[in-house]
Amino acid sequence: MSSFAGRMKEYPNMSLDRFDRENLHARAYFLSHCHKDHMKGLKGPQLKRKLKFSLTVKLYCSFVTKELLLSNPKYAFWKDHIVALELESPTLITLIDEASGEREELVVTLLPAGHCPGSVMFLVEGAQGTVLYTGDFRLAKGDASRIELLHSGSRVKDIKSVYLDSTFYDPRFYKIPSRETCLHAIRGLVQDWVSRSVYHTVWLNCKAAYGYEYLFTNLGDEFHTQIHVKSLDMFKKMPEILSHVTTDRATQIHACRHPKDEEFVPASRLPCGSSASDGTPLSIISIKPSTMWFGERTQRTKVIVRTGASSYRACFSFHSSYSEVRHLPAYLSVCLGLLKSMCRDVSSSAVIYRPLGTLKRTRPEQHTHDVDCADWLFEGADLAPVRKRVMMQEATPTTLPNRPDEPLPLTHIPLITGDYMDCTESNDDDEEERDLEEEERGGERDEGSVSNSGTPPRWEEFFTTEILTESQTSQPHSCSQTPELFVDDSAKLPSPSIPLSAGRGLSQAESMLIQSEDRCQGDALTNLDAGGEESGSHTHQSEPTESQVSSDFDIPSTPDSHTPGPDDLSDLYRRLAAGEEVITRTGSQSL
DNA sequence: GCGATCAGGT
DNA sequence: CACACCTGATCGC
């Protein structure tokens, strides 16, 4: 669940990704992507009633999101109230108060978010300044610099606030292998399996959500097959996706799901119950795309880890990693700082970077419903990661379950100390739990895979407004969403790193607000090389697989990590809280 | 019978 | 516990 309450303090008349409570009074709605946790209240009867009597209230989203949304009949009542916007086309939107007639003009621009089909960020420009709401995103370092509308001329726009997806804003996710790296590894594993015989079948155990289509299209192309899925309805106007999926069970790659029989799946049966026509039993492996599972590892792991006789975990994320999350506001503020100090207003010369003030942190062991979210958003708290699962009642500060303005007692920070057995599924259907990893072959390393491209992810390319005919859809054809669209070019931005790896100094949070006055500049934390070496071991066995793919990426890979002692941490926090320089970088500085 | 919420699952 | 859901039970209308 997104912890974002739906409104930005600069523009409280618009609601984004939340449609309940206060948001029922919004003058315009914005949906960044079609995941349920960003659609709370969207099918509620109250909103439905509101729409009936309103001529002006609209829902703005991308064309793909509109399509996905309307493919679910429960949202059909939105049909005449959705305004789909093109990506990267600034659009003037007038918010009208239907009671008073009061008007407010905004220019809203959708920017690609790389999270799932149709996902966008909203750049809002208006009387209260320019703000960026990211929704959920996965952008690699450097992607932001390629988004033209974040810039004005050669400079980054003066962005007042960034509302940031910080799902993996946690050092455990310091670095997540790029999409290409993950895809490459998965492709290798699939290759190794399906090439054995036509009875060798792969089940991609994907969470029921949009976001894996990239995997389907690429695997489909690679293996000249279509992926079996439960339904095609939502993709009927998206030929690039549609051509790669099928409801015909006779294929070697499945991503189908069936409620209820999760646990019977791997070795014996697919969720769809498919079996070979001649009665030969299928040999099935399951591959479970995961991110958090890898984040929990305390030792380096491969991109793919074998967790059982026929089951694997594959690293796959549609959220940015810690360093990627940090990069976005850092990129914006670095340029902002330069702009202010170098290009403007020479008289006031010095750019003052306000100290962070006190870090708002929360105790890891508290998870009960917090209530401060809406509150701090509107009360101008400083840079403050918010916790997840925050409920949206307005709450008085005194009800805060934790006093975020005090440094955490160090004893409450769980240090990752690193010596437990890796690669066991705690409650899974897997039999043997050993960590056999995969591979080697190809040896493309994440950091090494710098590449070309000047293009940010464009899920929109999947989309067409025409509905394809049966014959058109049955032909797999090449997909324009090639891996190079998702380049990890972290290598292009050399920068120092600091060992902030142990523990979780800053609480994990899903959304947080960063305001320009509060931001320190500098991209202090970018990854060092993860230092993956070629994994040497590959005994070839015949059992399920000791397959050889290339994926020598190790996770987690917080560079130079050592477990800081309480003194180190306490000193670090003190300095962070005081806004002191912790690391210096090319003239500017940073947290 | 519906929605909202919670508990439990992957 | 996150992720992004899904199912099922319970409660209130």
Q: In this predicted model, what pLDDT tens digit does every residue of A228-245 receive, in sequence order? A: 999 999 999 999 999 999
SS3 A201: strand
Question: Could you tell me which residue, A345 or A217, shows the higher pLDDT?
Answer: A217
The H helix count followed by the E strand count for chain A is: 10, 23
Q: Which of residues 183-212 of A touch strand B (CB under 7 A)?
A: 205, 207
Is strand B within 7 Å of residue A45 (CB)?
yes
Residue nearest to nucleotide B2 (CA to C1'): A45
* Shortest-distance nucleotide from A205 CA to C1': B10
SS3 A333: helix
Q: In this predicted model, what pLDDT tens digit does every residue of A199-219 receive, in sequence order? A: 999 999 998 889 999 999 999
Residue nearest to nucleotide C8 (CA to C1'): A260
Sign of CA dihedral A71, A12, A125, A492: negative
Q: Residue A21 CA to C12 C1' — how many Å? A: 18
Is strand B within 7 Å of residue A260 (CB)?
no
At residue A20, φ and ψ (nearest 5 deg) are: -115, 175
* Shortest-distance nucleotide from A263 CA to C1': B10
Alpha carbon distance A188, A195 (integer Å): 11
Scan for tokens 């209230």, then name that residue. Answer: A57
Sign of CA dihedral A13, A15, A21, A24: positive
Instruction: Extract the runs of DSSP E, i.e. beta strands, from A98-146.
Output: 103-112, 120-126, 129-133
Alpha carbon distance A141, A497 (integer Å): 15
pTM as predicted? 0.68
pLDDT at residue A456 above 60? no
Give the rounded percent of residues in chain A with a pLDDT score beyond 70.
55
Cis ω before A401 (30° cut-off from 0): no
Query: What's the average model confidence in pLDDT over A39-46?
Result: 94
Is strand B within 7 Å of residue A259 (CB)?
no
pLDDT tier, A266 (very low <50, low <70, confident <90, very high otherwise): low
pLDDT at residue A396 above 50? no
Is strand C within 7 Å of residue A1 (CB)?
yes
SS3 A25: helix
**Neighbouring-strand partners of residue A123:** A109, A132
Alpha carbon distance A554, A561 (integer Å): 14
Structure tokens at A41: 């209240």
Of A155-159, A170-174, A309-313, A436-440, which gets the smallest average pLDDT? A436-440
Is strand C within 7 Å of residue A420 (CB)?
no
pLDDT at residue A249 above 60? yes
In eight-state DSSP terms, residue A569 is: H
pLDDT tier, A273 (very low <50, low <70, confident <90, very high otherwise): confident
Q: Are the C-beta atoms of residues A212 and A255 closer than 8 Å to each other?
A: yes
* Shortest-distance nucleotide from A21 CA to C1': B4
- Identify residue A92 by its one-letter amino acid code: L
**Neighbouring-strand partners of residue A94:** A105
Q: Residue A310 CA to B4 C1' — how many Å? A: 40
In terms of DSSP bridges, do strands A227-228 and A245-246 run parallel, antiparallel, or are they unpaired? Answer: parallel
Query: What's the average model confidence in pLDDT over A103-120?
Result: 97
State which of A122-136, A249-263, A354-368, A465-479 shows the largest mean pLDDT. A122-136
Closest CA to A293 of A163, A194, A430: A430
Q: What is the reported pLDDT for A31?
A: 97
Could you tell me the CA-to-CA distances from A90 to A60, A134, A171, A390, A521 in Å, in that order? 13, 16, 35, 32, 27
Is strand C within 7 Å of residue A259 (CB)?
yes
* Shortest-distance nucleotide from A45 CA to C1': B3
Beta-carbon count within 10 A of A185 CB: 31
* Shortest-distance nucleotide from A289 CA to C1': C3
Q: Residue A12 CA to C8 C1' — how many Å? A: 37
Is strand C within 7 Å of residue A48 (CB)?
no
Of A175-189, A282-296, A432-446, A567-581, which gets the smallest average pLDDT? A432-446
Q: Over the range A328-359, which residues count as b (16 or more CB within 10 Å of their CB) and which as e?
A: bbbbbbbbbbbbbbeeeeeeeeebebeebebb
Q: What is the reported pLDDT for A265?
A: 56
Question: Could you tell me which residue, A170 or A521, shows the higher pLDDT?
Answer: A170
Mean pLDDT of chain A: 68
Q: What is the reported pLDDT for A512?
A: 75
In terms of DSSP bridges, do strands A120-126 and A129-133 run parallel, antiparallel, or are they unpaired? Answer: antiparallel
Q: Residue A340 CA to C1 C1' — how many Å? A: 41
Long-range contacts from A530-535, C-beta under 8 angstroms, 24+ separation:
A530/A175, A530/A445, A530/A446, A530/A447, A530/A554, A530/A555, A530/A557, A530/A559, A531/A557, A531/A559, A532/A300, A532/A445, A532/A446, A532/A447, A532/A557, A534/A440, A534/A443, A535/A302, A535/A437, A535/A439, A535/A440
Spatial neighbors of A261 by CB under 8 A, at least 6 apart, are: A269, A271
Q: DSSP string of A512-531? A: EEEEGGGPPPS---------
Could you tell me the CA-to-CA distances from A280 to A274, A276, A283, A424 in Å, in that order? 11, 6, 9, 31
